[in-house]
Structure 1
Amino acid sequence: MAETGNGGAAPATPQQPQGGDAQPQVRVQIVAQYIRDMSFENAFAQRGGKTEGVQPDIKVQVSLDARKREDTENQYEVVTKYKINSSNKADGAALFLLELEYAGVFLVDGIPQEQLHPFLLIECPRLLFPFARRIVSDVTRDGGFLPLNLDLIDFMALYRQELQRQAELRKAQGTQPS
């Protein structure tokens, strides 16, 4: 009987394309993920509010940050920051404020330098999003509200908006891109 697999040896590496134009293999691994900071202020409960007639108006702000980790090769910390304000549509009274910084440490290898910045601020947050979404849902539910399930976030659009904002800022300041 023929043995299948690699018999417990180290995992096989993917085959390189035939010919002289072999591209380097891209490797992405989540090394760790964690809540870097979180705050939940339940103004509604502090006022002794009653749920009758409450229609929440929810505003979500998302920002991103990425940096190379010191003393490590090819490791980057990516932080997704969520600021979620909820107020009553009827009278504008605050219901809650949730601030969450959810971070991941990524091992990224084989990505060309010119593609690294967008990769860190688009693809890495996409990988972290389901976990941050679950935290937001659990915290709002545990705070006495219906669980807030964040809509999917278009991190590519966020990235493009930030590039546009920076370009407009440079133009207003009369400087050229670096």
Structure 2
Amino acid sequence: MAENENAQAAAPQAPQVKMNVLAQFIRDMSFENILSQKGATGEVQPDVKVQVNLDAKKRQADNQYEVVLKLKVDSTSKSNGEHLFLLELDYVGVFNIEGIPEEQLHPYLLIECPRMLFPFVRRIVSDVTRDGGFPPLNLETIDFMALYRNELLRRQAATAAGEVKADA
């Protein structure tokens, strides 16, 4: 039993991951109520499309990173395809992150950090659509891991296509 304890004590400890949200804020937001500009009335069945983009960059201070969740919500009428509203939102989180190995930092910034920001983005979208004269839009949970994987696959495919063109 003493050997087991000594082996555990001698084993290198994994670095303790520390993450703090230092700030979060709306960098840019635009809401356009196209339906009211046209003066349309009556019952409308919306078709809502949501696009999500992520960006992350290192800040000047040690261990600080800025993650931007960019959301575009485009709502059109199912019956005639006319635009109802357009919402664009850039929501930023500033994070202090320590103890993450360099090779794991990129996925951490684009998966875990957006997960922390998403509930706030969901509330903003709900409030803005409600205040804009529509029923509150409650966004479905976003799978940031799947988004990250899909982007990696897209980049690999683009790189492979570029190599094929270069060889031709």
Q: What does the per-residue CA deviation read over 1:139-178, in whole Å, with 9 as the maximum and x for residues that have no partner? A: 0000000000000000000000100010011001108xxx
Offset at residue 85 of structure 1 (A):
0.3
Pairs within 5 Å for 1:65-80: 65-70=55-60, 72-80=61-69
2:102 matches 1:113: yes
2:136 matches 1:147: yes
2:43 matches 1:53: yes
Match of 2:35 among 35, 44, 51: 44
Whole-angstrom CA distance in 1 between matches of 2:20 and 2:74: 33
Task: Give the unaligned 5+ runs of structure 1.
Answer: 1-16
Structure-2-length-normalised TM-score = 0.91
Task: Give the match's secondary structure for 2:157.
Answer: helix
Count of matched residue pairs: 157
Other-structure match for 1:102: 91
Structure-1-length-normalised TM-score = 0.86
Task: Give the unaligned 5+ runs of structure 2.
Answer: 1-7
Q: Which has the higher helix share?
A: 2
Match of 1:63 among 50, 53, 58: 53
Q: What does the per-residue CA deviation read over 1:108-166, in whole Å, with 9 as the maximum and x for residues that have no partner? A: 00000000000000000000000000000000000000000000000000000100010
In percent, how many aligned pairs have the same letter? 62
Other-structure match for 1:8: none
Whole-angstrom CA distance in 1 between matches of 2:11 and 2:47: 58
Match of 1:160 among 145, 149, 152: 149
Task: Give the match's secondary structure for 2:137.
Answer: coil
